[in-house]
A = this chain, B = another copy of it.
Amino acid sequence: MKKIINDPSNVVPEMVSGLVRSYPQILKQIPGTEAVIRADKETMAGKVGIISGGGSGHEPTHAGFVGKGMLSAAICGQVFTSPTPDQIYEAIKAADQGKGVFMVVKNYSGDVMNFDMAKDLAEMDDIKVKSIVVDDDIAVEDSLYTQGKRGVAGTIFMHKILGAAAQNGASLDEIEELAKKVLPHINTIAVALSAATVPEVGKPGFELADDEIEYGVGIHSEPGYRREKIKPSKDLCNELLTKLDESLHLDSNKKYSLLINGMGATPLMEQYIFSNDVLNWLEQKNIKPAFMKVGNYMTSIDMAGISVTLFELADDKWLDYLNMPVETVAW
């Protein structure tokens, strides 16, 4: 393992410190935790708090999406490990402005359990807390760490939509209703060229041969659905988009938001080439995304690979929400 780190057991505190100190105008650390909150608390006044979090290793998710117009706070667990209920509880308290707090949780058993426990703690303080569990990965049902589908890159669309609604003054109940409506419209699928190396483990989570790829790998190196020899970008695109089409039933009369997401070690050169193939594929279906992003948004440490998210914009207001300006490190 060759990494720019100091102590493998101390990567999260040092990383959170580095992030917050690099962007003091946007972020500050919640004392005694590895959670971050907006530096400008005024931007949260009178609004529902939107929080998220999970294991670290997915940077810039989640902390990179904290800021005006998006998340109020984010909790950074140990690498690929759920944050503890007490840390989540501290983030809920810090994010609450008397209007309640809404939690965006990715569907991993540890996250679901710990966010639930934190909710119970907060409710004893009379803070109203609601949540959504995001499970956008269509690759496999049930997997390592998960019952049901996994929560992956499409989660950032949920962050953005709910953050914008909160900024516009939506109530906790309205945000819950919105989250439930949005959820089934976000679908993601990935292909991996290599696995991530967790610093404390020191070796990759799985091995792929020099000419091998695996479709459907999760963001913690959970198994996918098929291994085969590396293929041209066009063919990878066709495999992933065909799966998304089977799930979302793409329709040229509908609007879509597209996210092409690098997993950490995949250069932008490859991401743009892949984007070109995705746009060609969609064009053949007479679909042109109404909103689009390409880059490293939900990574898996140093994994090489790429994911595609399609989000059907079933309500025109959602496109406005995606386009609303934010003040974050990474959106």
Contact = CB atoms under 8 A, between A and B. Distances in A.
B275 A18 contact: yes
Nearest to A19: B272
Contact of A269 (B57, B193, B269, B293): B57
Contacts of A7: 232
Interface string A210-251: 110100000000000000001011101000000000000000
Interface stretch (A90-98, A111-119, A295-303): A295-303
Nearest to A270: B4
A2 to B, nearest CB: 5
Contacts of A11: 269, 273
Contacts of A4: 193, 233, 236, 266, 270-271, 273-274, 306
Given A233-B6, A265-B265, A266-B4, A275 B59 contact: no
Given A6-B277, A18-B272, A265 B232 contact: no
Say what secondary structure dominates the interface of chain A.
mixed
Contacts of A232: 5-7
A260 interface: yes
23 contacts: A2-B193, A2-B210, A2-B213, A2-B304, A4-B236, A4-B266, A5-B269, A5-B270, A7-B232, A11-B273, A14-B276, A17-B276, A18-B271, A18-B275, A18-B276, A18-B279, A18-B294, A19-B272, A19-B275, A21-B279, A22-B292, A59-B272, A267-B299
Contacts of A269: 5, 11, 15, 56-57, 59, 301
Query: What are the nearest 8 A-B pairs in CB distance?
Result: A18-B276, A18-B272, A59-B268, A18-B275, A4-B270, A265-B265, A15-B272, A6-B232
A110 interface: no
Interface string A183-224: 000000000011000000000000000110100000000000
